[in-house]
Amino acid sequence: MAAKAHEDVATLTFEKALAELETIVQRLERGDVPLEESVAIYERGEVLKRRCDDLLRQAEARVEKITLDAGGKPTGTTPLDVD
């Protein structure tokens, strides 16, 4: 059942997943959430964090570095080194 409750996370944009994750963190930091609910929203936060991490890795893989010739004119692109 928990997996089903987190299925929607796979369709969230980075911005929406991050906003929801920030809301969860704020609620947990306040400390006024009942224990059972705290555990449930913490678990959702973990799923949201993984979604954000995955989307960031995908974006990094697509970033390219522009190459220039001796005169400073763009000649093309090469994959960004992600070391």
pLDDT for 69: 76
User: 29, 41, 33: which is closest to 2 by C-alpha?
Assistant: 41
- How far is it, in rounded angstroms, from Cα 60 to Cα 66? 14
Query: Residues 30-75: pLDDT tens digits?
Result: 999 999 999 999 999 999 999 999 999 888 777 666 677 778 777 7
Residue type, 22: E
Q: State the CB neighbour count (10 A cutoff) for residue 17.
A: 22
pLDDT for 7: 82
At 21, the pLDDT band (50, 70, 90 cuts) reads: very high
Hunting for tokens 């980075």 — which residue is that?
14
CATH code of residue 42:
1.10.287
Give residue 24's domain range. Answer: 2-79
- How far is it, in rounded angstroms, from Cα 28 to Cα 76? 47
pLDDT for 1: 47
The residues with which 67 forms a beta bridge, in sequence order, are 76
Question: Alpha-carbon torsion 29, 7, 54, 63, what sign?
Answer: negative
Total number of domains constituting the chain: 1
